Amino acid sequence: MANLFSVDEALTRILAGVTPLAHEMILLENVLGRILAQDIIAPVHVPPFANSSMDGYAVIASDIAGAGRENPVSLPVSMDIPAGKPLQAALRPGTVARIMTGAVVPDGADAVVPVEDTDTQWDTTSPEIPSEVAFFVSIQPGANIRPIGEDIQKGMNLLQAGMVLRPQEIGVLASLGLAEIPVVRRPKVAILSSGDELVAPGEPLQPGQIRDSNSYAIAALVETYGGVPVRIPTARDTIEDVRRRFHEALSHQPDVILSSAGVSVGAFDVVRTVMNELGEVNFWRVNIRPGKPLAFGHVAGIPFLGLPGNPVSAMVTFDGFVRPLLQKLGGRPDDTDTAAAILGESVRTDGRRTYFRVKLLQEDGRLVAYTTGTQSSGALSSMVLADGLLIVPENTTYSPAGSELQVRLLRRMSNW
């Protein structure tokens, strides 16, 4: 369509020149879900010493060679080694040491025999140790011993920059003794809505007014994709109030500014006027449905995106344009999740790239998409019903039932 940017061209322009934010050091207990900013080179071996993987007896394997149930080998106990205590001496040949799981294996010992393969029982209530133990098995050197660095070798490039830190990575970082971790700073996003008709939840509605749902949904989306949302009070439809709210947004030193509404061609759309005062606007309309009135520019050098006012349009354009921007700023991998689906019904469009809200069902081993009903850009409940957004490419006005198209998944596949 004339005078419209393609979705791909618009996204390319938005992401041009964007680089991940600087890193910050935060406490280990706060890094879940954060993006690692630097490679982690293991500063130590894990474990740092050879230790027992069993409650039992540290032995010299050759001392109990040939032991069995019918011909046990008995040896005196010369040491007791609890976990967490330093060693006092090496194991003397011809003797054994009682040892706890995780305790240091003494020099000289080369295996650990589990307590159940001896004639003793583990008595955690008594400090006394047996004077002699009979062994019912022979054992190979190295058995039931975790060697130094079995898990992690010092100097290993263990975790790479750009990783999303999950519980398992956090456990590894803790095992290395790292209390503060370098992570990419989360992008701060100032969010403002504009419109005389908008009323916050909890406030009384007057005739002609509607609830401000967009700023809440957008703030939740920002947080979902790793950003820190800062909601700015709703701007009235005057240049003075919009200007005041933009200055308030700038006072928070955001990395991105988002607005909702005020970017179409209506008589009260004053956001463009203020944008031209404070910065620049690069484009205003994109070949997408829902969501054609989309603005991108910079306010005082900070990226600005003006999303449509209709709530579905705002969410769809957020997913297509804001989400990739936040992911790039935050150093996050692209998590776009798509799947091929068969149309369960025919659909028509006006030639723009169109995103239909659809339910997904498994039928005869194939994923089949059905629209959620009304596709009005004001019907926010259709996003609640939707498993995904069916993507009809540009310049396609009719897609018959049975066509295979891509779906941007909004729920995990395991739900179907």
pLDDT of amino acid 65: 95
pLDDT bracket for residue 262 (50, 70, 90): low
Query: What predicted TM-score, i.e. pTM, was given to this entire model?
Result: 0.84
Q: What is 7-21+186-329's CATH number? A: 3.40.980.10
Q: 350 versus 122: which is more confidently predicted?
A: 350
- What is the model's pLDDT at position 416? 56
Residues 6+ apart with CB under 8 A from 150: 46, 47
CA–CA separation, 349 vs 351, rounded Å? 6
User: pLDDT tens across 270-321, in order?
Assistant: 777 888 888 887 777 899 999 888 889 999 999 999 898 889 999 999 999 9
Average pLDDT, the chain: 91
What mean pLDDT do residues 83-102 have? 93
Residue 265 confidence (pLDDT): 57
Q: Is pLDDT above 70 for 268?
A: no
Higher pLDDT, 295 or 37: 37
Closest alpha carbon to 306 in 401, 397, 242, 224? 242
Out of 59-63, 166-170, 234-238, 243-247, pick the least confident.
234-238
Class of domain 51-146: mainly beta
Q: How far is CA 308 from CA 132, 260, 375, in A?
A: 82, 6, 16
Rounded Cα distance between 261 and 312, Å, is 12
pLDDT digits (tens, 9 = 90+) for 155-211: 999 999 999 999 999 999 999 999 999 999 999 999 988 877 888 888 888 888 888
pLDDT higher than 50, residue 371? yes
Q: pLDDT over 70 for what percent of the chain?
A: 95
pLDDT score for 335: 79
State the architecture of 23-47+150-184 in CATH terms.
Alpha-Beta Complex (3.90)
User: Tokens representing 66?
Assistant: 């040939």
pLDDT at 415: 53
**CATH tag, 338-415:** 2.40.340.10
- What percentage of the chain has pLDDT greater than the value 90? 75
Q: Distances in Å between the alpha carbon of 369 and those of 72, 74, 131, 273, 396? A: 70, 72, 74, 42, 17
Would you kindly state where each structural domain of the chain is located, as residue ranges? Answer: 7-21+186-329, 23-47+150-184, 51-146, 338-415
What's the confidence (pLDDT) of residue 269?
A: 65
Taking residues 238-243, report their average pLDDT: 88
Q: What pLDDT is recorded for position 267? A: 40
pLDDT of residue 285: 84
